[in-house]
A and B are shown apart, each in its own frame.
Chain A
């Protein structure tokens, strides 16, 4: 079965620092990749997604992610974080013909003002 690994459980940054959150998945076939974000007290919401085409995808709020097939990775990046980016971030994959998401365990990002 497919799995998703997020190696950073808790990341603490100061405002304006650059962010990169790691995500690796295990599945050899076609994948659709997602990053979801959960702000304090709010629902999970989609940050960005990759289905096909350009492996560098841009999402909301200045976030981007790069799909590197050879590394089975889909890392999330932002050049300059803000205090309002404090949230939990989940990487997820839909593998093959499945329709359900398989999530990583999440990374809690804390941005200090």
Chain B
């Protein structure tokens, strides 16, 4: 079946602009995660959705970052007033519904964001 997809694969923007990054999870996966990976680092957690609601947004670096998942499937990560330090690969992952133990997270290919 289809895996996690992310669009666009690459995004180049200018400092101060607004960007939206999209994630399509695996069909039927109720949990969705956003991570950010800077060069030479491992992915860092941003936000986690269970269904439509953000179950944990403690990783969002500041209020310029926001994410939604209005119908419990597709999610959009929104970044306002982009800064050069926002340049990174933004990864999305999905997993089956959370129960007593964590489930395997399946990762998408990522969106490479470059802020000039």
Contact = CB atoms under 8 A, between A and B. Distances in A.
Interface stretch (A61-69, A72-80, A95-103): A95-103
B56 interface: yes
Contacts of A44: 43, 91, 93, 107
Q: Size band of the A side of the interface?
A: 20 to 34
A104 B42 contact: yes
Interface string A83-113: 0000000101010001111111110000000
Interface of A: 4, 6, 32, 36, 43-46, 49, 51, 90, 92, 94, 98-106
Interface of B: 3-4, 31, 33, 35, 40-45, 48, 50, 55-56, 59, 91, 93, 98, 101-102, 104-105, 107-110
